[in-house]
Protein backbone atom coordinates (compact mmCIF):
# COMPACT_ATOMS: atom_id res chain seq x y z
CA UNK A 1 0.00 0.00 0.00
CA UNK A 2 1.35 3.39 -0.97
CA UNK A 3 1.92 5.83 1.83
CA UNK A 4 -0.01 9.10 1.72
CA UNK A 5 2.25 12.13 1.51
CA UNK A 6 1.50 15.80 2.13
CA UNK A 7 3.29 18.35 -0.01
CA UNK A 8 4.02 21.73 1.48
CA UNK A 9 6.35 23.78 3.62
CA UNK A 10 6.44 24.29 7.34
CA UNK A 11 5.31 27.76 8.38
CA UNK A 12 5.13 29.74 11.61
CA UNK A 13 1.59 28.41 12.12
CA UNK A 14 3.01 24.90 12.42
CA UNK A 15 5.18 26.00 15.31
CA UNK A 16 2.29 27.72 17.03
CA UNK A 17 0.23 24.56 16.66
CA UNK A 18 2.96 22.38 18.15
CA UNK A 19 2.11 22.85 21.83
CA UNK A 20 2.35 19.25 22.99
CA UNK A 21 5.91 18.43 22.02
CA UNK A 22 9.20 19.91 23.06
CA UNK A 23 11.30 22.03 20.74
CA UNK A 24 14.06 19.42 20.85
CA UNK A 25 11.63 16.67 19.83
CA UNK A 26 10.27 18.78 16.97
CA UNK A 27 13.81 19.48 15.78
CA UNK A 28 15.75 22.66 16.46
CA UNK A 29 17.05 22.78 12.88
CA UNK A 30 13.50 22.61 11.52
CA UNK A 31 12.41 25.37 13.89
CA UNK A 32 15.32 27.57 12.81
CA UNK A 33 14.44 27.08 9.14
CA UNK A 34 10.80 28.03 9.74
CA UNK A 35 11.75 31.10 11.74
CA UNK A 36 14.19 32.27 9.04
CA UNK A 37 11.44 31.99 6.41
CA UNK A 38 9.03 33.87 8.63
CA UNK A 39 11.61 36.62 9.20
CA UNK A 40 12.03 37.02 5.43
CA UNK A 41 8.25 37.26 5.02
CA UNK A 42 8.10 39.86 7.78
CA UNK A 43 10.72 42.03 6.05
CA UNK A 44 8.77 41.81 2.78
CA UNK A 45 5.67 42.96 4.64
CA UNK A 46 7.57 45.92 6.09
CA UNK A 47 8.67 47.05 2.62
CA UNK A 48 5.08 46.83 1.40
CA UNK A 49 3.82 48.76 4.44
CA UNK A 50 6.20 51.64 3.68
CA UNK A 51 5.25 51.92 -0.01
CA UNK A 52 2.75 54.79 0.32
CA UNK A 53 4.84 57.11 2.47
CA UNK A 54 8.46 56.13 1.94
CA UNK A 55 11.07 55.65 -0.70
CA UNK A 56 13.47 52.95 0.52
CA UNK A 57 17.22 53.05 -0.08
CA UNK A 58 20.70 53.53 1.31
CA UNK A 59 21.32 57.25 0.65
CA UNK A 60 22.38 59.40 3.57
CA UNK A 61 21.88 62.73 1.78
CA UNK A 62 20.11 64.17 -1.25
CA UNK A 63 19.55 67.57 -2.83
CA UNK A 64 16.02 68.95 -3.04
CA UNK A 65 14.20 72.15 -3.92
CA UNK A 66 15.78 74.71 -6.20
CA UNK A 67 14.19 77.57 -8.12
CA UNK A 68 14.05 77.91 -11.87
CA UNK A 69 11.38 80.53 -12.58
CA UNK A 70 12.40 80.71 -16.21
CA UNK A 71 10.31 82.80 -18.58
CA UNK A 72 10.28 83.74 -22.24
CA UNK A 73 10.51 87.38 -23.35
CA UNK A 74 9.10 88.59 -26.65
CA UNK A 75 11.62 90.54 -28.73
CA UNK A 76 11.98 91.81 -32.29
CA UNK A 77 14.49 90.42 -34.76
CA UNK A 78 17.31 92.47 -33.19
CA UNK A 79 16.43 91.68 -29.60
CA UNK A 80 18.63 89.90 -27.07
CA UNK A 81 17.35 89.12 -23.57
CA UNK A 82 19.28 88.91 -20.32
CA UNK A 83 20.56 85.49 -19.29
CA UNK A 84 18.81 83.62 -16.48
CA UNK A 85 20.25 81.30 -13.90
CA UNK A 86 19.05 78.44 -11.76
CA UNK A 87 19.07 78.85 -7.96
CA UNK A 88 20.23 75.60 -6.38
CA UNK A 89 18.33 73.65 -3.77
CA UNK A 90 19.36 72.46 -0.33
CA UNK A 91 20.59 69.25 1.17
CA UNK A 92 18.27 66.95 3.08
CA UNK A 93 19.65 64.10 5.17
CA UNK A 94 18.38 60.81 6.49
CA UNK A 95 19.48 59.31 9.82
CA UNK A 96 20.58 55.73 10.36
CA UNK A 97 19.69 54.44 13.81
CA UNK A 98 20.36 51.14 15.55
CA UNK A 99 17.66 49.18 17.36
CA UNK A 100 17.79 45.90 19.30
CA UNK A 101 15.35 43.41 20.77
CA UNK A 102 16.54 40.61 23.04
CA UNK A 103 14.82 37.47 24.34
CA UNK A 104 16.35 35.20 26.97
CA UNK A 105 15.64 31.93 28.74
CA UNK A 106 17.33 29.32 30.86
CA UNK A 107 18.65 25.96 29.66
CA UNK A 108 15.83 24.21 31.52
CA UNK A 109 13.25 26.37 29.76
CA UNK A 110 14.53 25.21 26.38
CA UNK A 111 14.35 21.57 27.45
CA UNK A 112 10.65 21.98 28.21
CA UNK A 113 9.69 24.70 25.72
CA UNK A 114 7.41 23.90 22.82
CA UNK A 115 8.02 25.11 19.24
CA UNK A 116 5.18 27.53 19.86
CA UNK A 117 7.12 29.10 22.74
CA UNK A 118 10.09 29.78 20.47
CA UNK A 119 7.92 31.04 17.63
CA UNK A 120 6.26 33.54 19.94
CA UNK A 121 9.65 34.99 20.87
CA UNK A 122 10.28 35.86 17.21
CA UNK A 123 6.76 37.15 16.72
CA UNK A 124 7.37 39.47 19.68
CA UNK A 125 10.53 40.77 17.99
CA UNK A 126 8.67 41.34 14.71
CA UNK A 127 5.90 43.21 16.51
CA UNK A 128 8.45 45.39 18.29
CA UNK A 129 10.08 46.11 14.92
CA UNK A 130 6.79 47.20 13.33
CA UNK A 131 5.94 49.39 16.32
CA UNK A 132 9.33 51.11 16.14
CA UNK A 133 8.94 51.79 12.41
CA UNK A 134 5.52 53.27 13.13
CA UNK A 135 7.03 55.42 15.87
CA UNK A 136 9.85 56.67 13.63
CA UNK A 137 7.37 57.55 10.86
CA UNK A 138 5.37 59.66 13.30
CA UNK A 139 8.51 61.36 14.63
CA UNK A 140 9.66 62.20 11.09
CA UNK A 141 6.29 63.52 9.90
CA UNK A 142 4.72 65.23 12.89
CA UNK A 143 7.56 67.45 14.03
CA UNK A 144 8.32 70.90 12.61
CA UNK A 145 11.89 71.33 13.90
CA UNK A 146 14.95 70.55 11.77
CA UNK A 147 17.89 68.90 13.50
CA UNK A 148 21.44 67.66 12.98
CA UNK A 149 22.22 63.94 13.21
CA UNK A 150 25.74 62.56 13.59
CA UNK A 151 26.07 59.50 11.33
CA UNK A 152 27.88 57.51 14.02
CA UNK A 153 27.26 54.11 12.43
CA UNK A 154 29.01 55.07 9.17
CA UNK A 155 31.44 58.00 8.97
CA UNK A 156 30.64 60.26 11.93
CA UNK A 157 29.71 63.19 9.69
CA UNK A 158 26.84 65.58 10.40
CA UNK A 159 23.59 65.05 8.52
CA UNK A 160 21.04 67.86 8.30
CA UNK A 161 17.59 66.33 8.73
CA UNK A 162 14.80 68.58 7.49
CA UNK A 163 11.05 68.45 8.05
CA UNK A 164 8.14 69.18 5.75
CA UNK A 165 8.19 72.80 4.55
CA UNK A 166 8.50 74.81 7.77
CA UNK A 167 9.47 78.42 6.97
CA UNK A 168 13.18 77.71 7.49
CA UNK A 169 14.21 79.91 4.52
CA UNK A 170 14.77 76.91 2.28
CA UNK A 171 14.68 77.39 -1.49
CA UNK A 172 11.29 76.06 -2.66
CA UNK A 173 10.74 74.95 -6.23
CA UNK A 174 8.02 76.85 -8.11
CA UNK A 175 4.57 75.32 -8.54
CA UNK A 176 3.34 73.80 -11.81
CA UNK A 177 1.75 77.10 -12.89
CA UNK A 178 4.74 79.22 -11.94
CA UNK A 179 3.65 79.79 -8.35
CA UNK A 180 6.44 81.16 -6.19
CA UNK A 181 6.87 80.56 -2.47
CA UNK A 182 8.68 82.57 0.19
CA UNK A 183 10.88 80.07 2.00
CA UNK A 184 11.07 82.32 5.07
CA UNK A 185 7.30 82.28 5.66
CA UNK A 186 5.76 79.40 3.72
CA UNK A 187 4.91 76.49 6.02
CA UNK A 188 3.01 73.20 5.86
CA UNK A 189 2.37 73.18 9.61
CA UNK A 190 -0.86 75.10 10.23
CA UNK A 191 -3.28 75.34 13.15
CA UNK A 192 -6.58 76.86 14.20
CA UNK A 193 -8.85 76.87 17.24
CA UNK A 194 -11.55 74.68 15.68
CA UNK A 195 -11.82 72.18 12.85
CA UNK A 196 -13.55 73.68 9.81
CA UNK A 197 -14.14 72.50 6.27
CA UNK A 198 -12.32 75.59 4.96
CA UNK A 199 -9.18 74.66 6.93
CA UNK A 200 -9.24 71.12 5.52
CA UNK A 201 -9.59 72.42 1.95
CA UNK A 202 -6.66 74.77 2.59
CA UNK A 203 -4.62 71.85 3.90
CA UNK A 204 -5.29 69.89 0.71
CA UNK A 205 -4.47 72.93 -1.44
CA UNK A 206 -1.12 73.28 0.35
CA UNK A 207 -0.10 69.99 -1.27
CA UNK A 208 -1.73 70.49 -4.68
CA UNK A 209 -0.10 73.88 -5.30
CA UNK A 210 3.31 72.22 -5.35
CA UNK A 211 2.32 69.87 -8.18
CA UNK A 212 1.28 66.85 -6.10
CA UNK A 213 -2.18 65.70 -7.06
CA UNK A 214 -2.36 62.23 -8.55
CA UNK A 215 -3.66 60.33 -5.49
CA UNK A 216 -4.30 62.69 -2.60
CA UNK A 217 -4.97 61.20 0.81
CA UNK A 218 -6.08 62.81 4.04
CA UNK A 219 -5.15 60.89 7.20
CA UNK A 220 -7.19 61.49 10.36
CA UNK A 221 -7.60 59.88 13.77
CA UNK A 222 -10.76 57.88 14.52
CA UNK A 223 -11.63 60.43 17.22
CA UNK A 224 -12.06 63.07 14.50
CA UNK A 225 -14.02 60.90 12.06
CA UNK A 226 -17.48 62.11 13.15
CA UNK A 227 -16.45 65.76 12.78
CA UNK A 228 -15.09 65.24 9.26
CA UNK A 229 -18.14 63.23 8.21
CA UNK A 230 -20.42 66.08 9.35
CA UNK A 231 -19.05 68.60 6.82
CA UNK A 232 -21.21 69.13 3.73
CA UNK A 233 -18.20 68.67 1.45
CA UNK A 234 -17.65 65.09 2.62
CA UNK A 235 -18.92 62.21 0.43
CA UNK A 236 -18.98 58.91 2.37
CA UNK A 237 -18.21 55.46 1.07
CA UNK A 238 -21.11 53.03 1.25
CA UNK A 239 -21.42 50.78 4.28
CA UNK A 240 -22.13 47.28 2.87
CA UNK A 241 -24.53 46.67 5.76
CA UNK A 242 -26.78 49.44 4.44
CA UNK A 243 -28.84 49.32 1.25
CA UNK A 244 -27.45 50.99 -1.86
CA UNK A 245 -30.70 52.89 -1.98
CA UNK A 246 -29.89 54.84 1.17
CA UNK A 247 -29.90 58.55 0.42
CA UNK A 248 -27.07 59.14 2.88
CA UNK A 249 -24.58 56.96 0.99
CA UNK A 250 -23.93 58.30 -2.48
CA UNK A 251 -20.45 57.03 -3.29
CA UNK A 252 -20.12 53.76 -5.19
CA UNK A 253 -17.15 52.47 -3.24
CA UNK A 254 -17.91 50.11 -0.37
CA UNK A 255 -16.71 50.97 3.12
CA UNK A 256 -14.26 48.50 4.66
CA UNK A 257 -15.85 47.31 7.92
CA UNK A 258 -13.07 44.90 8.86
CA UNK A 259 -10.75 47.50 10.44
CA UNK A 260 -12.50 50.66 11.56
CA UNK A 261 -9.31 52.44 12.62
CA UNK A 262 -7.39 51.83 9.37
CA UNK A 263 -9.52 52.37 6.27
CA UNK A 264 -10.67 54.92 3.67
CA UNK A 265 -14.08 56.35 4.58
CA UNK A 266 -14.90 58.75 1.75
CA UNK A 267 -13.91 61.80 -0.28
CA UNK A 268 -13.36 65.36 0.93
CA UNK A 269 -12.52 67.90 -1.75
CA UNK A 270 -9.80 66.34 -3.90
CA UNK A 271 -8.59 63.89 -1.24
CA UNK A 272 -9.57 60.42 -0.12
CA UNK A 273 -10.07 60.43 3.66
CA UNK A 274 -8.41 57.62 5.63
CA UNK A 275 -8.80 56.83 9.31
CA UNK A 276 -5.38 55.85 10.63
CA UNK A 277 -4.84 54.49 14.13
CA UNK A 278 -1.36 56.00 14.34
CA UNK A 279 -2.45 59.58 13.65
CA UNK A 280 -2.79 61.57 16.91
CA UNK A 281 -6.20 63.04 17.67
CA UNK A 282 -6.77 66.56 16.30
CA UNK A 283 -3.96 66.21 13.73
CA UNK A 284 -4.69 65.86 10.00
CA UNK A 285 -2.10 64.94 7.37
CA UNK A 286 -2.51 65.31 3.60
CA UNK A 287 -0.10 63.96 0.97
CA UNK A 288 0.01 62.49 -2.54
CA UNK A 289 0.36 58.71 -2.27
CA UNK A 290 0.58 58.31 -6.06
CA UNK A 291 3.58 60.60 -6.54
CA UNK A 292 6.94 58.88 -7.00
CA UNK A 293 8.42 61.72 -4.94
CA UNK A 294 7.49 60.24 -1.57
CA UNK A 295 7.22 62.40 1.56
CA UNK A 296 9.68 60.22 3.52
CA UNK A 297 12.87 58.27 2.91
CA UNK A 298 13.50 54.99 4.74
CA UNK A 299 17.24 54.52 4.97
CA UNK A 300 18.94 51.23 5.79
CA UNK A 301 22.58 50.22 5.65
CA UNK A 302 22.88 48.33 2.35
CA UNK A 303 20.68 47.16 -0.49
CA UNK A 304 21.12 43.52 0.57
CA UNK A 305 20.53 44.07 4.26
CA UNK A 306 17.39 42.75 5.90
CA UNK A 307 15.33 45.15 7.95
CA UNK A 308 15.17 42.81 10.94
CA UNK A 309 17.85 40.19 11.54
CA UNK A 310 18.80 37.66 14.16
CA UNK A 311 22.10 39.26 15.05
CA UNK A 312 23.46 36.90 17.68
CA UNK A 313 22.72 33.93 19.91
CA UNK A 314 24.48 33.52 23.26
CA UNK A 315 24.68 30.35 25.33
CA UNK A 316 26.22 31.08 28.72
CA UNK A 317 25.11 28.35 31.07
CA UNK A 318 22.53 28.38 32.50
CA UNK A 319 21.25 31.30 30.38
CA UNK A 320 20.62 31.60 26.65
CA UNK A 321 19.64 34.70 24.70
CA UNK A 322 18.80 35.80 21.16
CA UNK A 323 19.38 39.33 19.91
CA UNK A 324 17.45 40.75 16.99
CA UNK A 325 18.55 44.04 15.49
CA UNK A 326 17.59 46.53 12.80
CA UNK A 327 19.44 49.49 11.33
CA UNK A 328 17.18 52.09 9.78
CA UNK A 329 16.17 55.69 9.95
CA UNK A 330 13.41 57.83 8.49
CA UNK A 331 13.62 61.43 7.33
CA UNK A 332 11.60 63.77 5.14
CA UNK A 333 12.58 63.52 1.46
CA UNK A 334 10.04 65.51 -0.60
CA UNK A 335 9.34 68.43 1.71
CA UNK A 336 6.44 69.74 -0.35
CA UNK A 337 4.57 66.40 -0.59
CA UNK A 338 2.81 66.64 2.73
CA UNK A 339 1.03 69.18 4.89
CA UNK A 340 -0.23 69.04 8.47
CA UNK A 341 -3.04 70.74 10.32
CA UNK A 342 -3.67 70.84 14.07
CA UNK A 343 -6.69 72.25 15.83
CA UNK A 344 -6.71 73.24 19.47
CA UNK A 345 -7.91 76.16 21.58
CA UNK A 346 -4.45 77.67 21.38
CA UNK A 347 -4.70 77.92 17.56
CA UNK A 348 -0.93 77.33 17.33
CA UNK A 349 0.97 74.38 15.93
CA UNK A 350 2.25 72.06 18.69
CA UNK A 351 4.42 69.01 18.06
CA UNK A 352 2.64 65.94 19.44
CA UNK A 353 4.23 63.92 22.23
CA UNK A 354 5.35 60.61 20.69
CA UNK A 355 6.19 58.01 23.30
Quick: pLDDT tens for 7-18. 444 454 654 555
Does a structural domain hold residue 72?
A: no
Across the chain, what does the average pLDDT equal? 83
Q: Is residue 349 part of a domain?
A: no
Kindly report which listed range (57-61, 109-113, 296-300) carries the lowest average pLDDT score. 109-113
Q: Is 192 a domain residue?
A: yes
Higher model confidence: residue 40 or residue 273?
273
Structural domain containing residue 105: 12-61+90-233+269-343
Give the residue-averaged pLDDT of 162-188.
Answer: 92
Residue 311 phi/psi, 5° resolution? -80, -35
pLDDT for the residue numbered 86? 56
Residues 6+ apart with CB under 8 A from 5: none
Question: Could you tell me where the DSSP H helices lie in 50-101?
Answer: none
Out of 84-93, 110-119, 225-234, the most confident range is: 225-234
248 vs 181, more confident = 181
- Higher-confidence residue: 170 or 40? 170
Asked whether the predicted pLDDT for residue 187 surpasses 90, the reply is yes
Give percent of the chain with pLDDT exceeding 90. 48
Q: Does the residue 330 lie in any domain?
A: yes
Q: So what's the pLDDT on residue 5?
A: 43
Q: 115-141 vs 28-49: helix axis angle to the nearest 10?
A: 20
293 located within any domain: yes
| pLDDT at position 34 over 80 | no
* 95 lies in some domain: yes
For residues 147-173, average pLDDT: 94
- Residue 336 belongs to some domain of the structure: yes
Would you state the pLDDT for residue 277? 87
Residue 254 clears pLDDT 80, i.e. is over it: no
Q: Which residue has the higher pLDDT, 91 or 44?
A: 91
- Within-domain flag for 215: yes
Q: How many domains does the chain have?
A: 1
Contacts for 178 with CB less than 8 Å, ≥ 6 apart: 69, 71
- Model confidence, pTM: 0.81
Amino acid sequence: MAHESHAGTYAIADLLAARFTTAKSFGLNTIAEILRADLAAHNTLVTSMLSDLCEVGTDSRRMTGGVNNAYMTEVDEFGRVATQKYVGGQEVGFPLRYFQYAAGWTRKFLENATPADLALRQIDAEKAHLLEINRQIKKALLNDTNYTFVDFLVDNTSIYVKRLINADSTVIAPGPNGESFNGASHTHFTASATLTDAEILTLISNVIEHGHGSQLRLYINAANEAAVRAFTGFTPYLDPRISYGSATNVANKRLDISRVDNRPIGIFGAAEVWVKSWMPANYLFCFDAGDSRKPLYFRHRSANASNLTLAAEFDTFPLQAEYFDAEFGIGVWTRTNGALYFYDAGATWVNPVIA
